[in-house]
Structure 1
Amino acid sequence: MFYINAQSLLCHKHEIELLVTQHKIDVLCISETWLSSNMSDGFANIPSYNLYREDHDRDSLRDVVLRNKPIFIFGDFNDDLLKAGNKMAGLIDSVKLDQLIDRPTRVTSNSSTLIDLFITNNKTMVTKLEILPGPIADHEAISILVNMKKLKRSPIYKTFRCLRNYSQNTYCNLLLNEVNTLNTILHTDDVSIQVNTLTNVMNLCIDTCAPIVTRQLLRPPAPWISEQIRSAIKERDQTQSSLKQDPYNELLRENYRDKKKTVELVIDASRKEYYNNEFKKNINDISATWKTAKKMLSNVTNNDFELIENSEAILTKTENVNEFFSGVGKRTFEKAQEDLANNDILLQEINHSDNFNDNLSVFRPSPVDCETVILTIKSMKETNASGPDGISLRFIKDSLFITAFYLTIIINTSIVTNVYPEMWKIPYVVPVYKSGDKDLVVDYLPHCFVVQYADDTQILIEGDSNDVEAIVERANNILSFKKMLLIFISIFKSVMMC
């Protein structure tokens, strides 16, 4: 790529044609052409080159940056970057671009200024940069060599349950084959053993009909690509291949441009129609609407970041995350206590419990029946997330006519023995990025994934720690009686109100 300040393209057209021949320039950028909008392209055409004109500036730097593509900007900005207090340096930094010219580009007998700039958002693509004597005007020329080879996308692997061969009937039949194992739940009053037995049997059956697999994603998912669009893409690629064999065939070149534009328009229209339908389908589901919006913006924003190799920096980040989560836990605990004190209905429910005392050391709601368990689980919102047991709500609902009996036994055993199952206390505490600077812990949300049966549980994290593992370990062990109280109230609310 080559940049010159022409100071009238028409007056120096022959010199420019000689310049591109001598230097074998692929892309020539010209400022100060002094062309007006009423001049046709024929006045400025250079043989064997395509002409793109922008006689007046229209886009700001911020508008250009938002396009999320490699950016290379040349121009005479009439602001000397060698002088203190210049405006361009601050403007370039504000939009996170880089200016790579570091010496004067216009030298006269009276002055030496750096006003011809080269600005980019991807300086790693620039393999060579030279400042050459100005061949036409009194401005130096800028020559850069850019590696335009498209980088191969790093392999993306996804681990998930493969539901290709899954069916509710198959899953339930597998559970029925394990009835003898499930019946051992009736022979013990240890609620943790009961939960472990049910969890192990369900996971065994789920792994059989819906195994966990790891697959490489060859390309980003694009459900809006139809067979008609694939056919148009194939025709475009065939035309491009023919053009490479006959590069001077103008008719073929024009045909390729038309097909390329047609494919772009069809894909854009199909993509818009797909997302419009998704938004209409999920109009009453806020969570699904946000997921659709994030998918739609996934190709616009790039949130990838490099891991810091420095172990001290990693430790500092970990400590910041721990401190932040500790503060969140403390504030959540205080808010929960405040809400508990202000919730008259909740207090009435608690006061109706015969075994309630001032320090909340005992809480025993009435045992529940199987119908209540079924209605409670069916009312829970189904998501793709699962807790540490790896069982999503879909599998629980699909097998409810088999497992509801055993769940009722487990819940009533927990009520009678006043012991909450250990496995249902275990959460995954995950820092989820919101927006802003990924190096700042305040730009993350603490998300907690628990077993689906304890979906309404609030895990409160208190105290300081030195690493994330210790935070999670602390969260696993601090589920106090008060939080168990909230769990039972949420699960058995209908029973409590009777």
Structure 2
Amino acid sequence: MSGDVHPNPGPVSTRSNSASSVSSSSTVETIDLSSHFSFMHYNVQSIKHKLETLYAEFKDFDILSFSETWLNASTLNNDLIFDGFHDPERKDRPANSHGGVLLYVKEQFRYKRRHDLEIQSVECIWIELITKTKRILFGTFYRPPNTTAPEHSLIEDCIHLAVDTGIPDIIVTGDFNINMQNPDVSRKISSLCQRLSLTQCISDPTHFTENSSSLIDIILTSNHRLIHASGVGVPCLDQQVRFHCPIFGLINFKKSKIHTFKRHIWLFDKGNYQLLREKAANINWHQLKHTNINTYTKNITDTILSISKSCIPNKDVTIRPSDPPWFPPNLKKMIRQRRRYYKKAQHTNTEHDWLKFRTLRNKIITTIRQSKEKNIHQLATNLKTIQQNSKSWWACLKSFIKPASSSSSSIPPLQDGDDIAEDDQMKADILNDYFRDQTLLSEPENIAPELKGDISPLSTMPPIQVYPDEVMTVLKTLPLGKAAGPDGINNRILKELCNELSTPLADLFNKSLTSSEYPDTWKEAFVTPIFKTGDRSVPEIIVL
């Protein structure tokens, strides 16, 4: 929530042996969503027209759970997609368009839906998070205010099923509509916690009306040491008089950080190609020859890059996980200001301060909505621009119309036998080993088929000679707009220097053919795995 949370001093146990998992000195600045696995829950009272606000506010959390979504079959999953998250898990109320729960999990985490723990008439979703070090059951619930005793027993049975799995780490969150600050009614949760050894982690009010407050949105855990921090956030939806606050929790295990990486970019539109061709023509390419094919190739490559960098503007940039293009640039600053207004209004409880808070809250909602609409309008305008080529037209279209199966290029954790690969290097090694193995003969007794016809054992292939004019023809037809390979030489450079490089490259190719050696650098490539269908954690369902 962009730091817009109030940390709890620690979970308040509903059992006699009270436990605390975070010290009272914790502050909002100490909560690091980038290193700890995080989750949140929010009663949204209709989600369909609040998706942009919810995504902007909570996209940094790893699990997003929402109750009272008020969805039905007329709303497709594709209309609920969040960038960077798996397709949403949902359970709508079948009888009417109220109630319902919805859950999102970040793409970088592996999980599976546990339908076997979900009782049909209970509004809940269970998932099993699968990490390298542990498995966690995570359940999201909505218990309506008018729940009968038999219906409440079914909710308890649902949680019992999770406990009976034997998985030691269980987290339950949601809106239970039971005020934990009222001893007379909180016994329903307290007795459940005592029987199942659960700890309730939220201690501050989460629901407010005209003249009262209550704690009805809760977090239960079977292992109080699992929760690193928990608390209640600032309400961010336009709920006028009666409103819920989001609740959050951080789990005590480190997650793999999304690393930044360096990329070398060229400003080809500002290049001096006449000067580039002059420099290439003045180079003594014959002096770059070497008996070692790898050294020869390196000399040619380094020379091309050296003269190109002197004639074409270029620089190294750091690529970081970025906000969506419609994300308002001043939004995080406004959220911090809203938090200050909320704290002051809570402290003074004056109509003036509450009005200031509500005004800024509504301004943030409007800003997010207008920014998203402006971005969509700009994309629509770009699509109508006839000057765009087909590639940029399709890129523009795909930027806001994306199939659910291709919403992201990130690779989730991969199953490697009994192990789970979460690190990027481990994922790359698993995929490399799998696709390498596809080229091996599976049976040792397999032999090559017998060749038919008159085949002379003395038949030889005549020498292959590459000529400069052949190289020039190929260089002239290279497609532009393609990314460079590992050697860093872009097609634009090769095409601009097709005449000057035709002879040096022909000599290099002929050296490789006559020596029967292939340069090591030419064996390297950037390979992109593409998900097909099925379980994304299985290497077999990814193609190159």
TM-score after normalising by structure 1: 0.49
Structure richer in strand, relative to its length: 2
The structure whose Rg is larger is 1
Higher share of residues assigned helix: 1
Greater relative contact order (CA < 8 Å, ≥ 6 in sequence): 2
